[in-house]
Amino acid sequence: MSLQTRAARTPARTPSPGGRPGGARRGLLGPGVLAAALPDALRKLDPRTLWRNPVMLIVEVGAAWSTVLASARPSWFGWLAVGWLWLTVVFANLAEAVAEGRGRAQAETLRRAKRDMVARRLTGWRPGGPDPREETVPAPELRQGDHVVVEAGETVPADGDVVEGIASVDESAITGESAPVIRESGGDRSAVTGGTRVLSDRIVVEVTQRPGESFIDRMISLVEGSNRQRTPNEIALNILLAALTIIFVLAVATLQPMAIYSMGADPGVPGGLALDSGGITGIVLVSLLVCLIPTTIGALLSAIGIAGMDRLVQRNVLAMSGRAVEAAGDVDTLLLDKTGTITLGDRQAAAFLPLGGVAERELADAAQLASLADETPEGRSVVVLAKRLHGLRERTPGELDGAEWVPFTARTRMSGVDLPGRRLRKGAASAVAAWARERGGDVPPGLGRAVEEISSSGGTPLVVGESGPAGTRVLGVIHLKDVVKQGMAERFAEMRAMGIRTVMITGDNPLTAKAIADEAGVDDFLAEATPEDKLALIKREQEGGRLVAMTGDGTNDAPALAQADVGVAMNTGTSAAKEAGNMVDLDSDPTKLIEIVGIGKQLLITRGALTTFSIANDIAKYFAIIPALFLTLFPGLDTLNVMRLHSPQSAILSAVVFNALVIVALIPLALRGVRYRPGGASALLSRNLAVYGLGGIVAPFIGIKLIDLFIQFLPGMS
């Protein structure tokens, strides 16, 4: 297996610590994490920053107003309430700061990879032209279209395509994968990334990036969260939360006039901010408002979005926008390439089918001898299968005295070996049959039928022939098949349970494609696919109202990647593919598309679950604060005091404290995400309502009561 193939098939790993994407992390909310995030949380108190979160902006305005009121009429209750109102805003900012802070070390490591980099720029370079003039320049001065030369031991200064030469490249600084990959001019393995290191040979790279838009620049923006735009779903939810906040602001604003009217008394307090006999003060009104508006989800909404993108980074996937992550959660159709995604990509020997009375062991021995010098994956698999099924010792070409090896050519379509007194050939059925007939040999009548059966099942037949003193004959057929990766059928079954339709794309003929599709368990397939066919398929799916995701790595995949709602380009692919897609898989593992869909769904489920919890837990706060506010005016409301809280002051403060602490308690869940289990939409909704809806109602009753038991002993709580 080549270095390139081995690297492409290595599953996403968690790289070592030190800031690499996906590196080892401390606890989600450990003391070190909180200490590092606290300065950012305090800086976010600036209203110019907080205006993007209208719910928390209202809380901050209310906290500031309460501070003025507490200064005018100091009391233990007033200052405790003000303190917890400010903590509510800080905790909300802390959630976002923790989420953003998880990318700080990653960004710094990437900056170190970019800093002080120089380039050997070639002036006047053209293919086959005279030697160009070389000059050393700082890497930031490179522009699109420049050509640079990079030799063994040097770092690639900018993103680009190899236009001359071939080299082994270490991409561990970007992907975390230690195995080097091969990059060469032409084809789909020409793209190189700035910051990677050339290990061997010499290449000329044409710069494709614009200043400030390199791969590393985009990764830095992503992990810092500085380039994260709000998604349509997130914007819609923010609008809903703002609308609920406005409704509660209007409702709370009417409480004091209503209390005044009910008492039939004049407020007696400048500005009408308090009605002592009714128990209503400006601080109490703010506390009521903060507890009733959806502060929990308002505080965690941004952190949920950042954490969703961070989970992709942990799996070495670079998302160009939050919209792509969210779209992944709503995908209806997955387009998957067959080779290397659903199958291993290399045809493997699966069986020996002897013909004309030949023993299977004799066929296996001849096939093994004919394959000893064949270094292709197919040839090695023949040697291994003969050894496994018949115990034939794996010999080496050097052990066969006088052997002359016959390499495969497109003209003969055969390979083999000439031994003293014996010749063996292995190759296409028609070629080996013609070779046998030329030497006066017979072709068994069952050869055509065996070849047809293997072909119709999606396999590839290789025929083995022998010529010796006893004559020439066809010994039998080797069945080669593209092996479906283990567990793929189960994964596609999970996709089906999620309501996602899977389509396999392949260049194989329809018979072969159908056989692989049936074995893998995909819902449909597109055989003999051209770039135009892929693009047309995506458009048809989208016209039917479905969201489509696909993977690709070649220039011919670029139109389809650009058209797809979620286009995942392989890092080993061309620059055109990576520019067209809205995600780049740094590990170049095509099966990761399935994981990306799961991460997208987890993001949406986490947002929905915490929204459900946030709205549900307001119910308990009604039972805590409303009786406390109006008990003097309407003694009958005491029946709603089901928690039997100590006093109106302790009831209000307990609700405010719980409202602040629940934000901190839910930060780890927002960052980690709600566990996603494949299932239908109705099942997911039922589970969310049962866990987070019911939990959101019950938890505050318990939490507020426990806090009340503690704070009732504080001054001013009588």
189 lies in the same domain as 240? no
Give the total number of structural domains in the chain: 4
- Token couple for 708: 């009340």
The three-class DSSP label of residue 113 is helix
- Comparing C-alpha atoms, which of 296, 325, 315, 312 is closest to residue 230? 325
Check residue 119 and report its DSSP letter. E
- Token couple for 346: 């290399």
Q: Please, are residues 611 and 297 in contact by the beta-carbon 8 Å criterion? A: yes
Q: So what's the pLDDT on residue 277?
A: 35
- Annotated binding-site residue numbers: 374, 378, 408-415, 426, 553, 557
Tokens 């394959």 -> residue:
371
Spell out the residues 6+ positions from residue 624 whose beta carbon is closer than 8 angstroms to its own: 291, 643, 645, 651, 652, 654, 655, 700, 704
Spell out the residues 6+ positions from residue 290 whose beta carbon is closer than 8 angstroms to its own: 59, 62, 85, 88, 656, 659
Phi, psi of 550 (to 5 degrees): -150, 165
Q: What whole-number distance in Å separates Cα of residue 534 and Cα of residue 538? A: 6
What DSSP string runs through 331-363? --EEEEETBTTTEEEEEEEEEEEE-TT--HHHH
Torsion of CA 74, 75, 76, 77, to 10 degrees: -110
189 lies in the same domain as 277? no
Instruction: For residue 114, tell me if it sits in a domain.
Output: no
- Annotated binding-site residue numbers for ATP: 374, 378, 408-415, 426
- Comparing C-alpha atoms, which of 371, 349, 367, 369 is closest to residue 358? 367
| Sequence-separated contacts (24+) of 120-128 with Cβ below 8 Å | 120/148, 120/149, 120/150, 120/154, 121/146, 121/147, 121/148, 122/147, 122/148, 122/149, 122/204, 125/204, 127/163, 127/164
Q: What whole-number distance in Å separates Cα of residue 592 and Cα of residue 583? A: 11
What DSSP string runs through 558-603? HHHHHHSSEEEEETTS-HHHHHHSSEEETT--TTHHHHHHHHHHHH
Instruction: For residue 532, tell me if it sits in a domain.
Output: yes
CATH of the domain at 124: 2.70.150.10
Q: So what's the pLDDT on residue 570?
A: 80
Using CA atoms, how far residue 327 sits from 494, 600, 680, in Å, is 19, 7, 17
Q: Please, are residues 53 and 298 in contact by the beta-carbon 8 Å criterion? A: yes
Q: Please, are residues 168 and 200 in contact by the beta-carbon 8 Å criterion? A: yes
Cβ neighbours, 10 Å, residue 163: 16
The three-class DSSP label of residue 19 is coil
Pairing of strands 414-419, 280-281: unpaired
477 lies in the same domain as 351? yes
Q: Please, are residues 663 and 304 in contact by the beta-carbon 8 Å criterion? A: no
Q: So what's the pLDDT on residue 485?
A: 78
Q: What whole-number distance in Å separates Cα of residue 334 and Cα of residue 568? A: 11
Instruction: For residue 165, tell me if it sits in a domain.
Output: yes
H/E stretch holding 551 = strand 548-552
Final residue before a domain boundary, out of 586, 618, 652: 586
Instruction: For residue 254, tell me if it sits in a domain.
Output: yes
Q: Please, are residues 95 and 663 in contact by the beta-carbon 8 Å criterion? A: yes
467 lies in the same domain as 489? no
Q: So what's the pLDDT on residue 105?
A: 53
Q: What whole-number distance in Å separates Cα of residue 550 and Cα of residue 573? A: 14
Instruction: For residue 594, tell me if it sits in a domain.
Output: no
Q: So what's the pLDDT on residue 129?
A: 74
Cβ neighbours, 10 Å, residue 266: 9
Q: Please, are residues 190 and 208 in contact by the beta-carbon 8 Å criterion? A: no
Low-confidence ranges of the chain (pLDDT < 70): 1-33, 101-116, 172-179, 187-188, 211-232, 256, 258-280, 321-322, 339-341, 345-346, 394-399, 410, 458, 555, 572-574, 590, 628-634, 636-637, 678-681, 716-718
Instruction: For residue 691, tell me if it sits in a domain.
Output: yes
611 lies in the same domain as 693? yes
385 lies in the same domain as 478? yes
Final residue before a domain boundary, out of 522, 552, 586: 586
353 lies in the same domain as 475? yes
Spell out the residues 6+ positions from residue 240 whose beta carbon is closer than 8 angstroms to its own: none
Q: So what's the pLDDT on residue 18?
A: 33
CATH of the domain at 381: 3.40.1110.10
Check residue 439 and report its DSSP letter. T
399 lies in the same domain as 291? no
Q: What is the CA radius of gyration of the chain?
A: 34
Q: Which amino acid is at 460?
A: T
386 lies in the same domain as 279? no
Instruction: For residue 593, tell me if it sits in a domain.
Output: no
Return the bridge partners of 551, or none.
568
Burial of residue 97 (CB within 10 Å: 0-12, 13-18, 19+) is buried
Helices 232-253, 295-314: inter-axial angle, 10-degree rounding: 160
Cβ neighbours, 10 Å, residue 667: 25
Domain that holds residue 547: 317-342+485-586
Return the bridge partners of 164, or none.
204
Stated pTM of the model: 0.63
362 lies in the same domain as 455? yes
Instruction: For residue 233, tell me if it sits in a domain.
Output: yes
92 lies in the same domain as 239? yes
Q: So what's the pLDDT on residue 19?
A: 37
Final residue before a domain boundary, out of 483, 512, 545: 483
Q: What whole-number distance in Å separates Cα of residue 99 and Cα of residue 93? A: 10
Q: Is 217 a catalytic residue?
A: no
Spell out the residues 6+ positions from residue 325 whose beta carbon is closer than 8 angstroms to its own: 231, 308, 309, 312, 319, 599, 600, 603
Q: Tens of pLDDT along 48-98? A: 888 878 888 889 999 999 999 888 888 888 888 899 999 999 988 888 787
Q: What percent of the chain has pLDDT over 90?
A: 8
Q: Which amino acid is at 226?
A: S
- Comparing C-alpha atoms, which of 614, 621, 620 is closest to residue 692? 614
Cβ neighbours, 10 Å, residue 251: 12
Spell out the residues 6+ positions from residue 313 whose beta carbon is closer than 8 angstroms to its own: 21, 22, 103, 106, 222, 223
- Annotated binding-site residue numbers for Mg(2+): 553, 557
Return the bridge partners of 524, or none.
503
Q: So what's the pLDDT on residue 14?
A: 33
| Options 146, 159, 161, 337, the catalytic residue | 337
518 lies in the same domain as 643? no
Tokens 């992709």 -> residue:
312
Using CA atoms, how far residue 668 sits from 30, 37, 294, 297, in Å, is 10, 14, 19, 14
Half-sphere exposure of 66 (CA within 13 A, CB side): 26
CATH of the domain at 504: 3.40.50.1000
